Amino acid sequence: MYLVKMHFHSPVIVGGEQIGGYHKKLMNYIPSDRLFAEIYTSYIEAWGEVFDANKLILSSAFPFIKDKLYIPISRLAGGIKGFIQKEEAPRMIEKALKEGNVEKSYVEKFHEDLNRHFVSVVRPRVRIGRMNNEPELFFNEELHISRESGFYFFIDHPEIEKILTSLEYRAISGWGGRRKSGYGKFSIEYEKYSMDREKSEYFI
C-alpha cells in the first residue's frame, strides 16, 4: 500500500455539484471514481496500454496539511459536517457510536484550519446558451491550495510503480478542469504505508 500526496502549484478545479445551473460548487475532496478515471487515463497516455482495474485498491483523495491527514465526518457526528485528523478518527467514531455525537468545537477547529489552506475563489465566466444562442453569465469555483497542503490518497496494485510514474506524467499536463489554461499543475510524493487491519478495530 502506498500513501500518495498531491501538491498543487496552481489553482485546481476538482469538480463539484451544480447549484441553480449557474454556479458549480466545489467539493473539498476527490471521490474515488473520479480519482480512478484520472489515474486510468494517465496510465493509458503514459504507457499506451491498460492495467487490470480489478486488482486496484484505491481510496478517495482527502485534504492534508503538512503531516496531518484529514478524513470527512458527517452522519456519525450528529449532523456536523467537516473534517477531522485521520489519527483521531477511531476515537471520534467510537464516541459517535456510543453517544450519538462528537465534540462540535473539535470538528470546527479542523474546519477552520482547512479553510486557511484551501481557499475557494468564485470567478464569473460567459458562455453561449444552447437554447437561445445568447451570452450567459455563470460562475465557477477554483481551489487555491497552500504549498504545504494538498490531497492524499491510498493506492495499491501489482503495477504500482508504473501507475506512480504515470501520475508524474500527468503532473506535467495538470489535474482537473481547464488544464490547457494552466490549472491543476501539481507534483507528487509517495511512500509505502502499512495498514495493520488485525491490530485495529477500525480500518480507515
Could you state, in order of their start, the residue ranges of all structural domains in the chain?
2-192
The parts of the chain modelled with pLDDT lower than 50 are 18-20, 22-23, 76-80, 97, 100, 197-198, 200-204
DSSP designation for 183: T
Contact 170, 42 (CB under 8 A): yes
Residue 43, pLDDT score = 95
Residue 12, pLDDT score = 83
Residue 135, pLDDT score = 86
At residue 56, φ and ψ (nearest 5 deg) are -85, 130
Residue 97, pLDDT score = 47
Say if residue 156 is exposed, middle or buried (CB neighbours under 10 Å; 0-12, 13-18, 19+). middle
Residue 203, pLDDT score = 44
DSSP 173-192: H-SSS-GGGTTT-EEEEEEE
Residue 53, pLDDT score = 94
Residue 160, pLDDT score = 96
